[in-house]
Amino acid sequence: MRVLLAGGTGSFGRAFAAALLTDEPSLERLIVVSRDEVKQAEVRHALPDPRLRFLLGDVRDRERLALAMHGCDVVVQAAALKRVDSCAYSPTEALDTNVGGTRRVLEAALSAGVGRVLVLSSDKSVEVAGNLYGATKAMAEALSVAWNAVSYPRGLRVACLRYGNVLGSRGSVVHTFRQAIAAGRPLQITDPSATRFWIEMPEAVALARWALDAMRGGEVFVPGLASATMGDFAAAVIAASGKFDWPVESVGFRPGGEKRHECLLSRHESARTVEIKEVMPWPLWVIEPDFRTWTTGRPAWAGLPAPESWESDRAPRLPQERLLRMLSRVP
């Protein structure tokens, strides 16, 4: 198996690459495409494996992608601009990378004869009013789902994986909070009642690998994650650091449409969503496409009911002891 990882020097890319190189016996080659030569050097040093290849390139460059994908079986599209405020301030860059870049990945995969593409998405792609970053991810999802109608029957299948905040990823609030405590500064949060979904990196990687095996084409896979208020989350980071009564400041929401509560599954989507049990530690939902290209019946997970919606203010809360265990595993 030959795999290309677009945006492979980010937090998810590094963890995904490490997992494949460690325990994927069919892996022949893993090609990382990204723009940052310094980060590529860091990953090359951390993962010295002859199956790993690094190519400088941009997901906006279709020709470069097509060349990089030559002979590949699987592509994971993890390249994106992700900060809500930065995307709002530079909207054309967000559109060109998150939407245009995903389109170029899909075009290149089709022309290169790739078999499967998994596009990573975000809970911010749901209920996107006023949130440019979320809108770009929603457009990337829609493009990826519809691409199956373009690619069929040439063999290319495309699916999406949508989840919440990855604990300890690059730029994570965990590191920001730890740095503030180390510097003697108060923790700054948007609002103590704001809620966010959380997933650990090994779970995100395992879910991506499962989705690559399970996809039929056009699905959006969504884990039913638990959530935590930002007040509880800040308290857990403070407790994990061994501090007590550390000051916390509410600074309001960032510009660009940052939401008080996130949503992983909308009421509009729930009508065509089914649930899979006993795959992950939490429920796992499959949003089936309106127009299926499947030709050999329905997948094995069909027929189980899904919730009407899954919003972070109504989802089960992460207990403090579980938050502390999760934080203890973040480097």
Strand order in the sheet with 195-200: 165-167, 195-200, 227-229
Tokens matching residue 93: 């860059």
Q: Are residues 208 and 76 in contact, defined by beta-carbon separation less than 8 angstroms?
A: yes
Q: Give the burial string for 110-140 (b: 16+ CB within 10 Å, else e).
A: bbbebebbbbbbbbbbbbbeebbbbbbbbbb
Question: What CA–CA distance (Å, rounded) separates 245 from 205?
Answer: 35
Question: What CA–CA distance (Å, rounded) separates 210 from 215?
Answer: 9
Q: Give the residue from 217, 209, 331 showing the smallest Cα distance to 280.
A: 209
Q: Give the residue from 275, 151, 154, 158 showing the smallest Cα distance to 219.
A: 158
User: What's the start-to-end Cα distance of the chain, in Å?
Assistant: 31
Question: What CA–CA distance (Å, rounded) separates 94 from 236?
Answer: 33
Name the catalytic one among 39, 82, 124, 137. 124
124 catalytic per annotation: yes
Catalytic positions: 124
